[in-house]
């Protein structure tokens, strides 16, 4: 780019006046041009009046000549104005400072340009120079800003590229029509097919999903297209022929109007995790079955001990001495306790294997049923029971829910000291849209703080002076967890306890992943 000339340089660059020109004429033109506005403002109306008078007044040769001269003078002045304006406009139209400078230099180097024009151009160049200087600075600022933004965008793009390239997950973006728009390189590791294969063939991904899981996969896509985040697990057939478990988190992407325009998915390989999980489940299952079988094998000899001891007492009790009968009663009592213990183990291990069927259960109805069955005990203890009449409908198993409340109420009645009447209250709290917390409060003997963590463990008996199997609260926790809930307790020794039972609601909030699509794991 040609460097701009400063005003002084421009002045130095001005051509000297031509030696052959008439100084008087030039001065006159300069004077006329310098003051042409003033002259015009006086001269034009007067001249027009004079011409009008001479043309339409008394006709003489002299008046005609004077009118012609005046007309010529007007024409000359108009010509000077026109030439001046023409060059100014030409200069103004230039868009580059460099071009202007060059052009101006060329113009001023010309020996044919009148000095009046040089003055006009000098002023114009000054103005234009200032204008273009200011414009140029603004343009440079804008340009620098844009360059910085571009550099930042480039860095972000590079970061995303590094992320998507090196992430051990397949990141994809697909349009609502099902066409894959973007596909990160790790997709090839997960599927065996290149990004190009997947982008060019919009059915490729769905084709490799195993037929058993295809419906679940398609339903998840539909849910995401309707605007919900969703997590889905499914099996695919890798190009190499092996089967893999994948977990895809589908996230809808919305346009500025809020309409879902595409889906982003992040997919990871969960085969190892699920295999390990399956192994743990299998071991737990084996353990439960083992406990169940052992318990059953224990029951058979136990039945014999109990049966024979009872038979001895019934058939030969009269022949036995009192001390012999007393010894037999010890056997019967111990066998009875052992039988309860074995039954508890069976019950607890059966909870691990029994299928939990889901249904909508009205908690008020379930609790009414428990209170009816424990009515005699409640009356004996003169207990006061306060149940929230507006308890919600939850998702769970009716029998299991009955067991939960039966256990908690039974404990509250059993562990309330005899010098006071048991008080039990049941209230509901809503902390989110997915679940409800049921608080079961009692005024029983309470639990020591250091034992609070133990009470949900099997056979952890806190109050050994009161009869119990030690399995009740362990069963409650197992049931609640299998229903997708949780149970905790706050307690003050000698004052009472509050059990906080969190249960899934029957109608989940809209954003929740549908149960049949969430963490589905089938072999």
Q: Which one among 194, 218, 310, 437 touches other proteins, defined by CB under 8 A? A: 310
* Residue 482: CB minimum distance to other proteins, A: 16
Binding mask 23-62 for other proteins (x = CB under 8 A): ----------------------------------------
- CB within 8 Å of 300: residues ≥ 6 apart: none
Q: Of 315 and 322, which has the nearer Cβ to other proteins?
A: 315
Return the number of the residue (346 or 480) whose C-beta is nearest other proteins: 346
Q: Which of these ranges, 200-208, 308-316, 436-444, 473-481, lies near other proteins under the rule CB under 8 A?
A: 308-316
Among 65, 142, 146, 311, binds other proteins (CB under 8 A): 311
Contact between 420 and other proteins by CB under 8 A: the answer reads: no
Q: How far is the CB of 318 from other proteins (least distance, A)?
A: 16
Question: Which residue, among 358, 393, 364, has the nearest Cα to 482 in the 3D structure?
Answer: 358
The number of beta carbons lying within 10 Å of the beta carbon of residue 346 is 19
The least CB distance from residue 520 to other proteins, in Å, is 24
How many angstroms separate the CA atoms of 254 and 263, rounded? Answer: 9
Separation of alpha carbons 309 and 339, rounded Å: 14
CB contact at 8 A, 505 and 433: yes
Closest distance to other proteins from the beta carbon of 312 (Å): 11
Bridge partners of residue 429, in order along the sequence:
437
**Of 346 and 445, which CB lies nearer to other proteins in the complex structure?**
346
Cβ proximity of 260 and 225 under 8 Å: yes
Q: How many residues bind other proteins (CB under 8 A)?
A: 18
Nearer to other proteins, 274 or 401 (CB): 401
Residue 230 interacting with other proteins (CB under 8 A): no
- List phi, psi (to 5°) of 384: -110, 120
Asked if residue 266 lies in contact with residue 259, where contact means CB atoms within 8 angstroms, the answer is no
Q: Which is nearer to other proteins, 306 or 369 (CB)?
A: 306
Radius of gyration of the chain (CA): 50
Report in angstroms the alpha-carbon separations of 240 from 188, 243, 281: 11, 9, 29
- Measured from the Cβ of residue 114, the count of other Cβ atoms closer than 10 Å reads 19
Of 337, 318, 328, whose CA–CA distance to 468 is shortest? Answer: 337
Of residues 54 and 302, the one with the C-beta less far from other proteins: 302
The window from 299-307, 323-331, 429-437, 449-457 that contacts other proteins (CB under 8 A) reads 299-307
Residue 304 sits in the site that holds other proteins (CB under 8 A): yes
Q: Which stretch binds other proteins (CB under 8 A): 35-43, 95-103, 303-311, 417-425?
A: 303-311
Q: Which residue has the tokens 């571009």?
A: 150
Task: Give me the least distance between CB of 200 and other proteins, in Å please.
Answer: 53
Query: What 3 state SS string does 251-311 have?
Result: EEEECCCCCEEEEEEEEEECHHHHHHHHHHHHHHHHHHHHHHHHHHHHHHHHHHHHHHHHH
CB nearer to other proteins: pick between 170 and 295: 295
Q: Find the shortest distance in angstroms from Cβ 295 to other proteins.
A: 9
Least Cβ distance, residue 333 to other proteins (angstroms): 11
For other proteins, which is the closer residue by CB, 276 or 290?
A: 290
Cβ partners under 8 Å of residue 498, min gap 6: 439, 440, 441, 442, 489, 490, 491
Among 237, 350, 385, 513, contact with other proteins (rule: CB under 8 A): 350
**Which residues, 6 or more positions from 277, have their beta carbon under 8 angstroms from its beta carbon?**
521
Q: Is 486 a binder of other proteins (CB under 8 A)?
A: no
Query: CA 118 to CA 265: how far, in whole Å?
Result: 71
Residue 346 touching other proteins (CB under 8 A): yes
Find out whether 446 and 491 touch, Cβ atoms under 8 Å. Answer: yes
- By CB under 8 A, tell whether 300 contacts other proteins: yes
Give the shortest CB-453-to-other proteins separation in angstroms: 31
Q: Residue 425 in contact with residue 441, Cβ under 8 Å?
A: yes
291 binds other proteins, rule: CB under 8 A: no
Site for other proteins in 314-343 (CB under 8 A): 315, 332, 335-336, 339, 343
Report the residue number, 253 or 308, with the smaller CB distance to other proteins: 308
Instruction: Using CB under 8 A, list all residues that contact other proteins.
Output: 296, 299-300, 303-304, 306-308, 310-311, 315, 332, 335-336, 339, 343, 346, 350
């Amino acid at each position: 780019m040609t460097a701009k000339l400063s005003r002084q340089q421009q002045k130095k660059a001005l051509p000297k006046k031509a030696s052959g020109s008439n100084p008087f004429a030039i001065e006159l033109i300069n004077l006329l041009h310098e003051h042409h506005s003033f002259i015009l403002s006086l001269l034009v109306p007067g001249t027009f009046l004079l011409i009008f008078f001479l043309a339409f007044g008394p006709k003489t040769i002299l008046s005609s000549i004077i009118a012609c001269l005046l007309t010529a003078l007007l024409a000359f002045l108009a010509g000077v104005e026109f030439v001046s304006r023409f060059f100014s406009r030409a200069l103004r139209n230039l868009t580059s400072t460099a071009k202007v400078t060059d052009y101006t230099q060329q113009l001023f180097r010309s020996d044919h340009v009148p000095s009046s024009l040089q003055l006009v151009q000098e002023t114009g160049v000054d103005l234009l120079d200032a204008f273009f200087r200011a414009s140029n600075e603004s343009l440079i600022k804008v340009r620098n800003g844009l360059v910085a933004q571009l550099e930042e965008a480039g860095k972000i793009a590079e970061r995303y590229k590094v992320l998507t390239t090196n992430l051990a997950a397949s990141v994809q973006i697909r349009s609502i029509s099902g066409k894959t728009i973007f596909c990160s390189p790790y997709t090839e590791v997960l599927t065996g097919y290149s990004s190009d294969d997947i982008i060019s063939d919009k059915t490729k991904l769905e084709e490799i999903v195993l037929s058993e899981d295809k419906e679940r996969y398609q339903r998840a896509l539909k849910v995401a297209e309707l605007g919900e985040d969703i997590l889905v697990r499914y099996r695919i057939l890798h190009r190499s022929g092996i089967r893999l478990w994948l977990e895809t988190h589908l996230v809808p992407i919305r346009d500025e109007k809020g309409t879902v325009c595409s889906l982003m998915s992040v997919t990871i390989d969960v085969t190892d995790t699920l295999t390990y999980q399956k192994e743990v489940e299998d071991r737990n299952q084996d353990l439960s079955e083992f406990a169940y079988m052992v318990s059953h094998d224990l029951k058979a000899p136990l039945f014999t001990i109990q049966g024979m001891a009872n038979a001895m007492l019934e058939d030969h009790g009269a022949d036995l001495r009192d001390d012999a009968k007393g010894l037999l009663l010890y056997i019967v009592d111990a066998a009875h306790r052992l039988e309860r213990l074995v039954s508890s183990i069976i019950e607890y291990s059966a909870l691990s294997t029994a299928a939990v069927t889901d249904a909508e259960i009205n908690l008020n109805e379930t609790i009414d049923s428990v209170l009816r069955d424990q009515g005699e005990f409640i009356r004996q203890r003169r207990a006061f029971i306060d149940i929230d009449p507006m308890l919600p409908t939850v998702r769970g198993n009716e029998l299991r829910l009955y067991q939960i409340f039966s256990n908690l109420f039974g404990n509250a009645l059993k562990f309330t000291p005899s010098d006071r009447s048991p008080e039990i209250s049941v209230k509901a709290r809503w902390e989110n849209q997915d679940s409800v917390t049921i608080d079961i409060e009692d005024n029983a003997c309470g639990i020591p703080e250091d034992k609070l963590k133990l009470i949900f463990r099997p056979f952890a008996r806190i109050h050994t002076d009161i009869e119990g199997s030690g399995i009740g609260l362990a069963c409650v926790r197992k049931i609640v967890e299998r229903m997708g809930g949780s149970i905790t307790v706050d307690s003050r020794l000698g004052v009472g306890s509050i059990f906080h039972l969190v249960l899934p609601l029957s109608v989940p909030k809209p954003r929740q992943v549908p149960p049949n699509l969430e963490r589905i794991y089938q072999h």
